[in-house]
A = this chain, B = another copy of it.
């Protein structure tokens, strides 16, 4: 009667959402201040004031039919020009407005890109741990997902493992840096060696592999170095950007797809993006927010709040004896389960009112994800609970 695959997907609760709902109930029971909810990656810092100001000016000054009317399918040309100029200047690398397709957020950027490139029998490599929806998006586009674990010591891409997993059917590698859930920021060296390998692979096999770069956390980078700009390091790049985290606008669904300026047959690739957008129902991203983000390029919410949370939490967890992945970017800490059993670890954490997501959801056992996009108070109040959790494991080990 209906698509069983879609029904199952709609009925299967995401582990993250389930935990979040548990948290909601638990807060009602014992008070919000007593639940340390690190479950969701929902920005906790407000959008910069200038975004609100821009929206109000647009509503007051722009003629309503022009403001709320359809833009062209790929987005308003002036908006795309502003983004192209901003990116070109920021990264000292030419970006063309004709290669920018405005989208209704990060998920849309990914699904449209995947449907644009997927052909029957294609495989997509995802580097685990990974955002669970990658599997959903790839499979819906008809691609087989091939998981390749990252190096455990630093959660950088494991090139020898990728070399082993790549096949003539590999169409794309999904790259998410800064990473959800590990917080890793891929180094220039990781990018270079991956890029070199893919050029070499292309020379040997004639097969061009896309790097599909999911970059909603680009600005949430605590390394002090700007993250490499993928189109400058490899040609066949499709970059999926969203303003959700940088401008704290996750609910407004606004982002873009950028096809790299050096991408072979880029016009055909961009046309396929347009075709996929059209056939999935994603033409003309929300107009008001197209104009609003174009006036706020390069701005961010006050990211120092995340930076401070990260410092407090890292210090406290280290002192308590926990191990975690290098917390270089995004707003996630990827904590090692002391005995390697993430399910028990998260269940035990829950008893201390600490809501952590078991890493099983991300295709990688042995860890728990803490999203520190919460208030500083929550972080501070959670420390005794983390300490108690640590003592429990230290006691057990003895």
Contacts and interface: CB of A to CB of B under 8 A. Distances in A.
Contact of A112 (B275, B281, B286): B281
Contact of A278 (B1, B117, B133, B251): B133
A2 B46 contact: no
A250 B6 contact: no
A268 B7 contact: yes
Interface stretch (A54-62, A306-314, A380-388): A54-62
Contacts of A45: 65
A362 to B, nearest CB: 17
A126 interface: no
A285 interface: yes
A109 B282 CA distance: 11
Interface stretch (A66-74, A83-91, A333-341, A343-351): A66-74
Interface residues of A, number: 81
Given A1-B265, A249-B68, A282 B108 contact: yes
A173 interface: no
Copies in the complex: 2
A6 B68 contact: no
Contact of A11 (B5, B42, B252, B275): B275
A3 B276 contact: yes
A115 interface: yes
A204 to B, nearest CB: 17
24 contacts: A1-B117, A1-B208, A2-B272, A3-B276, A6-B271, A6-B273, A8-B275, A42-B69, A43-B69, A56-B59, A56-B60, A71-B251, A105-B281, A108-B281, A108-B282, A109-B281, A111-B279, A112-B281, A136-B278, A139-B279, A250-B284, A251-B284, A252-B286, A253-B284
